[in-house]
Amino acid sequence: MFYLALKAALSGVLIAVASTLAKRYPGFGALVASLPLVSVLGMIWLWNAKPDPENMAAHSAATFWYVLPSLPMFLLIPALLRHGIGFWTALIAGCALTVALYAAMTWLGPRFGLQL
Regions of the chain with pLDDT less than 70: none
Helix, strand, coil content of the chain in percent (nearest 5): 85, 0, 15
Q: What pLDDT sits at residue 69?
A: 96
Q: What pLDDT sits at residue 76?
A: 98
pTM for this prediction? 0.78
Q: What pLDDT sits at residue 60?
A: 94
**3-class DSSP state for residue 50?**
coil
